[in-house]
Chain A
């Protein structure tokens, strides 16, 4: 390496340095230290007595394996992944629909994006009205004769519906965000390709599946990855809709709610156990990310 290229490389690293420092301080170190804590006993008593975390090996993971509440949380988090394909398909389809010049199209694009910028607490108040036993949803369903007029159930109180009701709010809030990402992806597809396909007699359906979807694979990978990670880490919705209880009958209790309750639930916290639970969630997220990469990269290669 000559002096010029060495200087060039060095100057590049100098520019990268601030970002690297931030990455190490705010990401790498917390991740490594959090992982270490997962193998320690680190409770409020450690704080009080000024004792450092005590290495306990796999004890925390054994505790988690025997904790029904944690197992329920993990299962619910995995079940929550069902929102991902629904979210991706719907946002991609709508992105295609609004990615054209039509009257009032700017209004529709903005309208779909409003839930993204709505705070979760405000969304919770609004959906609370909708899901209440006297709420809009029951009123509508009864009006359309799709529900027994004597039915008197709140959607958030029935263990069979609460989970899906909360998941729908995630869908509603995330929909506009992914739609915008897909719209950005659609802008990168050369118009000539779709034009040529149409001239060859391809139907809009064929154009969508044979041209648009394959060329959108990198964006689909990104969106799928982001929504998978959001789904496995779902917390806010469950916290606000169930006042942090994870009810009814723990039907909405997720793995991250467990982590939150064990670390920030009060003054009897257990950082060691919470970190171990966090590690389990991180491991699941990692596996899902690898699967996403494998599936969509292969899909992209096939395309």
Chain B
């Protein structure tokens, strides 16, 4: 019964919001309510933007007060604690993997009744990131590409005598070797074992190789092993940094590129913020181009969403706010102040992004380029149950292969065995 009431209220909230401007300015709250909105690592830098959106929302809905609270590294733990204490927030900013885990554990409100409308509001790829078992558990807010654009240090490219830039990951392998041989700097820092787990699966997906065949692991074919061996060879010959085995590729890329020890930095424009702040000379020598893609021709990335915990005290008002926060106008406005990829349908058509794309400034140009690529953004690894254990088993074997303890094929076979047991 409760579920039916919730579904009905969600549907009503959804239709009232989607029905037009007049609906959006009418609050459904009968008595004043206060909702708690948790963000992840956004304060204090984006307080101005977020408080502005909240003010707009409160103006349209005078009966709803939004309390904005930014959480940082302990967001997940605090969410669990607050749910257990009966003080759950109403709207929470999570990411793909955490939404999947929280949905699996039954912590989130199923926004299923909204699906028919949501498909028109957000890019389908972005929306599918937050669908688990056909149910929608989060509204896409903003996203980032793993390999959206490639910034390159033009001084190092010239020093290496290179005339062309790599367009594919296969060309990137040759590029990395030339850069290292000619300049001593690394050419490439691909994600091979990021601490958050399973990143080499992204390499397979990028090359169009399958990860799963139904409920069975499919990443141990000879083609997969050959690809893994290519990376192992690069690692052993010191053509890619050793620390990729224990540090996040994004973080390590920023560190090395800023120090002039890496020729390319692949990712979103946000990767260049630190370079601009810490090494003006390298930032000035930086140029932007499309990131190399694998044979799969996909652009992988991660996404952030807004979820509503089941324990939220005001789910109806929470849903209204989550939709307002993630609507096209607000996402585009956010993308104009920080280089994120808006996920609301039609965001890519905003003329501001075309203007940015033509800019000479690396961050502005990259921002324009990725914003226009939003519709193609796709998460490399599909939502998985038992993701923590699956990624641990996979990463342990990948590490064993890189450290020479197992052959590439044996490591993938062992990982596949572990997955097949866990996926049963």
Contact = CB atoms under 8 A, between A and B. Distances in A.
Contacts of A269: 80
A152 interface: yes
Interface in A144-160: 152-154, 156-157, 159
Contacts, number: 83
Contact of B106 (A48, A133, A159, A250): A48
Contact of A266 (B76, B84, B106, B395): B76
B106 A245 contact: no
A247 B107 contact: no
Given A249-B405, A266-B388, A48 B98 contact: no
Interface residues of B, number: 34
A250 B396 contact: yes
A245 B246 CA distance: 8
A264 interface: yes
A209 B256 CA distance: 52
A153 B246 CA distance: 13
B246 A242 contact: yes
A63 to B, nearest CB: 12
A265 interface: yes
Most interface-central of A45, A132, A157 (chain B CB within 10 A)? A157
Given A133-B242, A243-B246, A47 B399 contact: no
A49 interface: yes
B248 interface: yes
Contacts of A250: 396
A264 to B, nearest CB: 5
A250 B193 CA distance: 14
B106 A268 contact: no
A40 B313 CA distance: 28
B310 interface: yes
Contacts of B238: 152
A44 B107 contact: yes
A45 B80 CA distance: 11
Interface string B230-265: 000000001000110111100000000000000000
Nearest to A132: B243
B243 A154 contact: yes
B195 interface: yes
B42 to A, nearest CB: 19
Contacts of A249: 396, 399-400, 403, 405
A267 B242 contact: no
A214 interface: no
State the main secondary structure of chain A at its contact with B. loop
A272 to B, nearest CB: 14
Most interface-central of B97, B98, B105, B405 (chain A CB within 10 A)? B105
Given A244-B195, A247-B399, A250-B396, A157 B105 contact: no
Most interface-central of A48, A49, A133 (chain B CB within 10 A)? A48
A156 B246 CA distance: 9
B98 A243 contact: no
Contacts of B403: 157, 159, 248-249
A268 B105 contact: yes
Contacts of B247: 243
A62 to B, nearest CB: 17
State the main secondary structure of chain B at its contact with A. helix
Contacts of B399: 247-249
Nearest to A241: B246
Given A44-B107, A48-B310, A248 B101 contact: no
A265 B388 contact: yes
Contacts of A264: 76-77
Nearest to B405: A249
B79 interface: yes
Contact of B246 (A247, A261, A266, A267): A247
A157 B242 CA distance: 8
Nearest to A158: B403
Contacts of A152: 238, 242
Contacts of A261: 388
B12 interface: no
A43 interface: yes
A267 B386 CA distance: 11
Given A47-B83, A244-B195, A248-B245, A267 B101 contact: yes
B106 A49 contact: yes
Contacts of A48: 83, 105-107, 310-311
Contacts of B80: 44, 47, 267, 269
Given A44-B106, A247-B399, 5 more contacts: A43-B105, A44-B102, A132-B243, A265-B388, A268-B386
27 contacts: A44-B80, A44-B101, A44-B102, A44-B105, A44-B107, A45-B106, A48-B83, A48-B105, A48-B106, A48-B311, A69-B392, A133-B242, A154-B242, A154-B243, A157-B243, A157-B246, A157-B403, A243-B195, A243-B247, A247-B245, A247-B399, A248-B245, A248-B399, A250-B396, A266-B97, A267-B80, A267-B105
Q: Closest 5 interchain pairs by CB?
A: A44-B105, A48-B106, A243-B195, A267-B101, A267-B102
